[in-house]
Amino acid sequence: MYGVRWPLVENQIRRGLRNHTYGAVRMKKLDDGTLVPRAHQGWDFYAPVGTVCFAIADGKVASVKYGGDYGTQIVIELDSIKCLGHKIYVMYAHLNSIRDRFKKVGAAVRRGEIIGETGKTGNARNLPNPADCHLHFELRTMVDAPQGDGKNLSTSFIGRISPGFLYTEPPLTSKVFDFCAPIGPLSPTRKNVTNGDN
């Protein structure tokens, strides 16, 4: 639809559960036992630690941060995709690492370039089950969208839009494969032969 790729080669929502997608999709139990909706501000794609992630479109690095609930994270401003006149930013969170050339704000990014590897940083570090390793992926209309606490639904989505804006439906029950040839080496030791890197 917009000439974007997916952020991973194999894309499926963590555990195939809707509560790892965007929206008021999680529940919180109050002290009196009442269940109330709680926000989740992106899509969580299942990804074992060290899975390479890709730039979904051309753009430039808008932010790189370490720490907090999102852990190691990068935000990329997309060049040519807008939503209701707003610029679109893509955030990749809980990363293990970011490629050196993308650690500088303003660095150009091309669709399909490997930007980093998934990890268990931020609030993902204590997830004990390997099935919960994931890439937290957000679409934003501002670089530093307020995180919110997920409880106040009226403020939890400020500066964010659903990844469904680009991908329609989250891949819950089956994987979406994106085999576009990556640009650059897959790892520091293994070169991507399809691009002629030897």
β-pair partners for 53: 116
Model pLDDT, residue 30: 85
Residue 184, pLDDT > 90, answer: no
State yes or no: pLDDT of 181 exceeds 70.
no
What 3-state class would DSSP assign to 102? Answer: helix
Write down the pLDDT at residue 36. 85
100-124: average pLDDT: 96
Is residue 92 within 8 A of residue 109, CB to CB? The reply is no
More confident residue, 149 or 39: 39
189 or 187, greater pLDDT: 187
pLDDT at 5: 94
Each residue's pLDDT tens digit, 129-164: 999 999 999 999 999 998 766 667 878 899 999 999
* pTM score, whole prediction: 0.87
- Please give the C-alpha separations between residue 189 and each of 22, 94, 115, 186, 198, in angstroms, as whole numbers: 36, 23, 16, 8, 10
Please tell me the predicted confidence (pLDDT) of residue 155: 83
8, 60, 83, 96, 113 from 48: Cα distances, Å: 11, 26, 31, 11, 19
Hey, how many other C-beta atoms are within 10 angstroms of the C-beta on 184? 17
> What domains are there in the chain, each with its CATH number?
10-27+39-145+154-167 (2.70.70.10)
